[in-house]
């Protein structure tokens, strides 16, 4: 995918969804069903405060999927020893993972599925809520 307005909008959505310190209203605009997920975001941030303070994302690549969605390769980094990761965490954690951006009436957003089940299993919104 060549750099375009779509590329910039998808990168902005992933930045807003996975970067420490982004205000809740801005975060909600970046995620599909964002207003409904604000409570889960708060639970994740409360359970993993180091992640909430240090999380950052780099979008490594994008490709268009059928239906117009965009598959995103991303690298998440954070420092939080309370996050259970293989081998334990004593320094910054960094991992590549996939995500999906979807076009909604609000513009390009991180898919609800990416936020709800992404990152690490114990950090996902599904694990915190369930």
pLDDT tens digits for 81-126? 777 766 666 667 788 889 999 999 999 999 988 887 655 555 555 4
pLDDT the model gives residue 110? 93
In the chain the domains, ranked by start, together with CATH numbers, are 5-129 (3.10.450)
End-to-end CA separation in angstroms for the chain: 37
In terms of Cα–Cα distance, which of 73, 74, 65 is closest to 103? 65
What lies within 8 Å, CB to CB, of 111 at 6+ separation is 32, 69, 99, 100, 101, 102
Burial class (CB in 10 A: 0-12, 13-18, 19+), 89: middle
Torsion region of 3: left, alpha or beta (phi above 0 gives left; psi -120 to 50 gives alpha): beta
Stretch 26-37: mean pLDDT, rounded? 94
CA–CA distance, 55 with 90 (Å, rounded to integer): 15
Confidence of residue 23 (pLDDT cuts 50, 70, 90): very high
Q: Taking the model in full, what pTM does it have?
A: 0.84
Stretch 45-71: mean pLDDT, rounded? 90
- Containing 75, the helix (H) or strand (E) segment is strand 70-78
Instruction: Examine the pLDDT at 47 and tell me if it is beyond 90.
Output: no
Instruction: Examine the pLDDT at 3 and tell me if it is beyond 70.
Output: no
């Amino acid at each position: 995918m060549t750099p375009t307005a779509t590329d910039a909008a998808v990168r902005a959505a992933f930045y807003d969804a996975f970067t420490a310190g982004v205000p809740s209203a801005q975060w909600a605009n970046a995620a599909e069903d964002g207003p409904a997920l604000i409570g889960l975001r708060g639970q994740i941030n409360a359970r993993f405060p180091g992640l909430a303070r240090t999380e950052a994302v780099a979008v490594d690549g994008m490709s268009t999927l059928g239906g117009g969605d965009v598959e995103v390769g991303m690298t998440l980094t954070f420092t939080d020893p309370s996050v259970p990761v293989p081998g334990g965490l004593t320094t910054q954690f960094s991992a590549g993972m996939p995500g999906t951006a979807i076009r909604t009436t609000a513009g390009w957003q991180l898919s609800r599925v990416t936020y709800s089940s992404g990152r690490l299993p114990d950090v996902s919104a599904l694990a915190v809520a369930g």
